[in-house]
Amino acid sequence: MGLFQNVHEERVRQLNLREPVVCHEDDTVRVAIETMRQHKLGCVFVADQDRRPQGMFTESMLKQMLVQDPNRLDDPIAKHMADQVPWVKLDDPISYVLNAMEEKNMRFLCVVDNQGRIAALTGQKGLMEYVAEHCPGEVLVQRIGGKPYTEEREGA
C-alpha cells in the first residue's frame, strides 16, 4: 500500500496520539497558560464536566489577546477561547485529520471517543511522524539539535 491509500484506510487511533491538555471554562487564562507551559504544548482544550470539548485556546490566541489587552490574564478562559473545536473520532480515517486541519487552518486537533469525550491530541507533529514512519527512505529525520540520521558509516 502507498501512503495515499494508507491515509484513507488507516484510522486516527494508529497515529502517535498525545495526551490532551484540558481546562475547564471557569479556569483563568493564566491557568491555561501555566498548563500549556507545564505540558510543553501550544494549545489547551476547554471541556465541560463530562470531558466534552467546549472550546480551544492556543498560543496564537494568547498573542492576540496580549496585544489587545495584557491585563486579561485573570479572565475566565471561556471569554477568549475559540468555541468551534476541530475534532475527529478515533476510528475516522487519518485523511480526516488532514482535511480538518486544512479547513480550519489549525495545527492542533482534538480526538474524541465514541461518546464525544476528549481522548487525545493530534496535529501537525502526529502527521509528520506518520509520514516519516511510512516513508523512511524519503524523509530525512533529524532530532532537534542533533545531526541528520543517515545509514552511512561515519569515520574510517
Contact 110, 82 (CB under 8 A): no
Residue 14 CA to residue 91 CA, distance in Å, equals 9
User: What would the pLDDT profile of 46-81 be if each residue is shown by its tens digit?
Assistant: 999 999 999 999 999 999 999 999 899 999 999 999
| Cell 477561547 found at | 81
Query: With 60 as the cut, is the pLDDT of residue 151 above it?
Result: no
Query: With 80 as the cut, is the pLDDT of residue 119 above it?
Result: yes
Contact 104, 43 (CB under 8 A): no
Rounded mean pLDDT of 84-100? 94
pLDDT grade for 144, boundaries at 50, 70 and 90: low
pLDDT grade for 115, boundaries at 50, 70 and 90: very high
Query: pTM of the full predicted structure?
Result: 0.82
| DSSP-assigned beta bridge partners for residue 148 | 142
Which whole-number Å values give the CA distances from 85 to 57, 108, 152, in the listed order? 9, 10, 45
| Cell 480551544 found at | 56
pLDDT grade for 131, boundaries at 50, 70 and 90: confident
